[in-house]
Amino acid sequence: MNKIVTSIESKNISLELSIKLLEAAVVKGKELGMPFSISIVDKVGNLKAFSAMDGAPVLSLEIAQNKAFSAAAYNRPTHEWYDRLKNDPPLLHGIVHTDRLIIFGGGYPILINGELIGGIGVSGGHYTHDMQVCEAALELLKQFEEV
Amino acid sequence: MNKIVTSIESKNISLELSIKLLEAAVVKGKELGMPFSISIVDKVGNLKAFSAMDGAPVLSLEIAQNKAFSAAAYNRPTHEWYDRLKNDPPLLHGIVHTDRLIIFGGGYPILINGELIGGIGVSGGHYTHDMQVCEAALELLKQFEEV
Amino acid sequence: MNKIVTSIESKNISLELSIKLLEAAVVKGKELGMPFSISIVDKVGNLKAFSAMDGAPVLSLEIAQNKAFSAAAYNRPTHEWYDRLKNDPPLLHGIVHTDRLIIFGGGYPILINGELIGGIGVSGGHYTHDMQVCEAALELLKQFEEV
Amino acid sequence: MNKIVTSIESKNISLELSIKLLEAAVVKGKELGMPFSISIVDKVGNLKAFSAMDGAPVLSLEIAQNKAFSAAAYNRPTHEWYDRLKNDPPLLHGIVHTDRLIIFGGGYPILINGELIGGIGVSGGHYTHDMQVCEAALELLKQFEEV
């Protein structure tokens, strides 16, 4: 038998966890009193689960999906981009044009025990509101971490 | 004073109903033993809620969304298209190229008391399976009809 | 600790195996005396490795990638589509318009012990030639199957 | 008899050289300890050969291809763009929107004896990392230069 690495194992977010994250995000959205779009993507950025709260702005539908995509596709919260770009003009004028890449807050990787399994993206308010909704949802993950 | 009609009232599916439809669809999907993508759109075809069952084929993600869009955007179940096209060659060779229009089964308008409020689209199996999943979800609506 | 399934484990093709498949495909292409484009994608259809033999037709570059995508994204060899469509007119006139879906031969899922880990797509000749190139490459997989 | 120039001769990168460049790039990527996507295009920017190292971010797949395209399509390393744009506002606010044009480092033309034969693009790290990977690969070319 030949000795090569034929495949790489990885984990991907389940629908069950995705729905629990959406529910927690909606609870936070109601608390803030604003309607948000919330998107969960899998490890490679493909749509896994989605909820648009009643009254969510049309513009938020795609931004929420793109934030979740961005977070998973580079394993980086979207709000961390600008700090890395602001003193790096080629990127500041360049990478911002990348299709589907969002460089403001409201997208977070979803990690279990440090491993990327998906992404969450929220849009509807200022990005500081969007980030609060994400963070409220991600609180849930703590109970699933291995001790 | 001028009397003009300034606006038109319409109903749009709620997130609450959308989630119940997704849940019912997933139950049917599990019963069929196949992983489906299920999409709910609002009255104008914008994404409202979405669930991809674990293992749903990548190809189904977009087809499910396009079926729901097609159903709401023309207020017609997607499986009714082909019968209307088959003896109408200009449409059969023309309209099938319309962006996001799906002409096979698995997309249904969502109606309350005969009024269009959204659409559901399912993909993952043959369209006859996809249709069963939609129909199982739409059974739910009966309990919300006014008598 | 909460009891839910948080993630699903899966395997994805390695670069090492991808390159060996490309090499075997090129050997077969030279034997047939025609220049092919050969594409390897991962489990979700994203590009993993690619080789265009010298002189490969420009048209083959994208078709090879789309064949590999189609094969992985629905876990079905592309040459099996037409037999399933030919007596099913709604699909024959409908699903063929799906973005990136190829319904003729030359795309195969890549499986290890029955599990989908990627896809291979070949274009450049008639699809019967393209299929021979794929099959020559996939012969390699046998030596990596567990007994 | 009319004397017109009927055709223009040009050189195009071979698959053989493309693969050697990919291999050298992967060696450098492993040395840096980061997973990169590496793309080789031919003289006109069409995809010739590609490798995504295991674990390369999804976002890097297309950026690597666009960097190689940009480098070949204008015969200019992508990191040279910003210096040419920064004091030229119409370009700085305009040309950066060009489809597939990347204006930060990580894309280089591939030249043999001063003649453009293709392009290489790398993505996955900061562009300073991506550039190191390109440069390591391009070191190879020296042994093929005519003295």
The whole-number pLDDT of residue B145 equals: 78
Summarised one tens digit per residue, pLDDT across range A67-111 is: 999 999 999 999 999 999 999 999 999 999 999 999 999 999 999
* Beta-carbon separation of B51 and A26 below 8 A: no
Residues of A in contact with B47 (CB under 8 A): 50, 52, 61
Task: Give the residue ranges of chain C where pLDDT is below 70.
Answer: 1-2, 146-147
Given B48, B51, B52, which is nearest A52 (Cβ)? B48
pTM value is 0.96
Nearest CA in chain B to C91: B104
Structural domain includes residue C8: no
- E strands present in chain A: 7-13, 37-42, 47-52, 107-112, 115-123
pLDDT of res. C135: 98
Please give the Cα distance from C56 to B65 (Å, whole number): 36
Q: What is the CATH number of the domain that holds A76?
A: 3.30.450.150
Instruction: Summarize pLDDT for B7-18 with one digit per residue, the tens.
Output: 999 899 999 999
- Residues A98, D58: C-beta atoms closer than 8 Å: no
pLDDT digit string (tens) for D36-69?
999 999 999 999 999 999 999 999 999 999 999 9
Q: Considering its fold, how many domains does chain B have in total?
A: 1
CA nearest C9 in A: which residue? A11
pLDDT of residue B123: 98
**Mean predicted confidence (pLDDT) in A113-138:** 97
Q: When comparing pLDDT for C22 and A145, which is higher? A: C22
Q: Is the pLDDT of residue B147 over 70?
A: no
Q: Does any domain span residue C10?
A: no
Percentage of residues in chain D having pLDDT higher than 70: 98
CA gap A97, D100 in Å, rounded: 9
- Contact assignment for A93 to D92 by CB distance below 8 Å: yes
What pLDDT, on the 0 to 100 scale, is given for residue A146? 67
Cβ contact C73:C57 at 8 Å: no
- Per CB-CB distance under 8 Å, the chain C contacts of D51 are 15, 18-19, 48-49
Q: Is residue A120 part of a domain?
A: yes
A2 pLDDT higher than 80: no
Residue C117 near chain D (CB below 8 Å):
no
pLDDT of A147 reads 58
Residue B144 confidence (pLDDT): 84
Are B59 and C98 inside 8 Å of each other by CB? Answer: yes
The ipTM of this complex is: 0.95
C9 domain-assigned: no
* CB proximity B67 to A under 8 Å: no
Q: Is D51 close to C15, i.e. CB distance below 8 A?
A: yes
The pLDDT score that the predictor gives to residue C144 is: 83
More confident residue, B48 or B10: B48
Q: How far is C4 from chain A (nearest CA, A)?
A: 7
Q: Closest by alpha carbon to D34, among D15, D14, D53, D59?
A: D53
Gap between the Cα atoms of B29 and B106, Å rounded: 13
Q: Identify the DSSP state of C4.
A: -
- Six token digits for residue C7: 């993630």
Provide the angle, in degrees to the nearest 10, between the axes of the packed helices A15-32 and A127-139: 130
Residue A111 at interface with chain C, using a CB cutoff of 8 Å = no
In a domain, A3, yes or no: no
Residue B1 has pLDDT above 80, yes or no: no
A34 min Cα distance to partner chain D (Å): 31
Residue A7 placed within a domain: no
Measured between CB atoms, which of A5, A45, A90 is closest to D58? A45
Chains in contact with D via at least 3 Cβ–Cβ pairs below 8 Å:
A, C
Structure tokens at D92: 């700085």
Range of the domain at B63: 15-144
pLDDT above 90 (res B50): yes
What are the structure tokens assigned to B91, written together? 């449409």
Give the model's confidence band at D87: pLDDT under 50 very low, under 70 low, under 90 confident, else very high.
very high
Cβ within 8 Å, pair A54-B18: no
When pLDDT is averaged across residues D111-122 and rounded to a whole number, the result is 96
With respect to residue C125, please indicate whether it lies within any of the assigned structural domains.
yes
Say if CB C79 and CB C109 are below 8 A apart.
no
Residue C1 lies in a domain: no
